[in-house]
Structure 1
Amino acid sequence: MGTSTATYFVNRMDTNSLAGIIIAGTVRTARVSDDVKLPVLAIHHSNGQCAGTPPSASESVISSRPQNTISRLEVIEGGISEGNVCESFAYHDFDQTEPEFIKRAAQFMLTH
């Protein structure tokens, strides 16, 4: 895996030093424990085709959050996809949509 799995770490560490969690193109087995009360933002590309990180994985993380927690799913469109669908020049890694990704992540951080 090229990046860390934030859901793995947030479920296993003291979250008192964190203000929230942002997951991007998450793996199908990911979940955030109900004990984690942090705001959660999931960002996924609408055309992501990597079998290990389907859009439904991010949808599942957000839909399974307790009602009293802040959680949101952002879906990115556009960009380009070249080569392996699970690597950095594909929709999987938000190729050519980085400014929109950063904008949405920043908006979430600033409001939560």
Structure 2
Amino acid sequence: MRSLTVLILAVFSLYADVSSRVIDVPTRERVSERLLILTPEVPKAVVVLFAGGHGGLQLSDDGKFGWGEGNFLMRTRELFAKAGLMVVIVDAPSDRQREPYLNGFRQTKEHVHDISTILTWIKTQTTAPIWLVGTSRGTQSVAYVATENPSDISGIVLTSSILYDAKSDAVPEMKLEKLQMPVLVVHHKEDGCSHCSFDLIPSLMNKLTSTSAKELLVIEGGQTKGDPCNAFGHHGFNGVEQEVVAQIAHWVIAH
């Protein structure tokens, strides 16, 4: 516990000053992606964050959330930035700003094109390595984009991964054996969501056969409230956010 506390203090003491802005990046014809960007003075890496659920954040011009601010990655965005990481939060594209938002869209060529265009834009802003980080259904976006077009991606982080899904490919059903980049898997041992049972984690880890580095970070502790698939259960690392973000940031920067 002491070593983890030291890590947390060290990670979050790197940067105090963080700037933020909202930008719309054109992707497809008459379509754009709205991004909320948090930038420390000298980023060690970039983390592109994908929320779970339907993914329609409905970001306003001044960066306020219409939905999803309580999502694990959304509510910890400043912790990532204070750890020295440039944060890029991705909303649903402009042509999917109503139901079903990203539902049924995460595993499409249009989604891959949109995110690839965003990565190209990020490279005009910084030379720092770019990582995709998803939580819950956001892991389906991250895994699919990484397997379909790995260029410009330095590594991925999968938190609270979708391990079973009757309506679309769960993460272990994707072509993970193609991935050669580093992959960090973060999962709460007591995740109560039926799509994310910890017992199914081997089905994910066993598919990562070609990665340059991989690790399973098992989280314990914290508290759970309400629906076990929502952001304030163990599924969303409620009560252990600082520890989880510190270990993710440390791993990303180290790789």
Q: CA deviation at 1:68?
A: 5.8
Determine which structure has more spread, i.e. the larger CA radius of gyration. 2
Identify which of 167, 171, 180 aligns with 1:37: 180
Q: TM-score when scaled to structure 2?
A: 0.41
Q: Which has the higher contact order (CA 8 A, sep 6+)?
A: 1
Q: Number of residues paired by the alignment? A: 111
Structure 2 counterpart SS, 1:42: strand
Whether 1:110 aligns to 2:253 is yes
Q: Aligned partners of 1:22, 1:56: CA distance in 2, in Å?
A: 19
User: Unaligned regions of 5+ residues in structure 1, if any?
Assistant: none
User: Unaligned regions of 5+ residues in structure 2, if any?
Assistant: 1-51, 54-136, 164-169
Asked if structure 2 preserves the Cα contact closer than 8 Å seen for 1:83 and 1:90, the reply is yes
Cα 1:57–1:27, aligned 2, differ >3 Å: closer, same or farther? Answer: farther
Cross-structure match for 2:143:
7
Q: CA deviation at 1:49?
A: 1.0
Identity across aligned pairs (percent)?
23
Asked if structure 2 preserves the Cα contact closer than 8 Å seen for 1:7 and 1:30, the reply is yes
Q: TM-score when scaled to structure 1?
A: 0.87
Q: Aligned partners of 2:211, 2:191: CA distance in 1, in Å?
A: 29
Cα 1:41–1:92, aligned 2, differ >3 Å: closer, same or farther? Answer: same
Structure 2 counterpart SS, 1:84: coil
The residue type equivalent to 2:171 in the other structure is A
Q: CA deviation at 1:56?
A: 3.4
Cross-structure match for 2:153:
18
Deviation >3 Å, runs of 4+: 56-59
More strand by share: 2
* 1:61-85 Cα distance to aligned partner (Å, 9 max, x none): 2232116631100011111101100
Q: CA deviation at 1:50?
A: 0.5
Cross-structure match for 1:89:
232
The residue type equivalent to 2:237 in the other structure is F
Deviates more, 1:28-37 or 1:79-88: 28-37
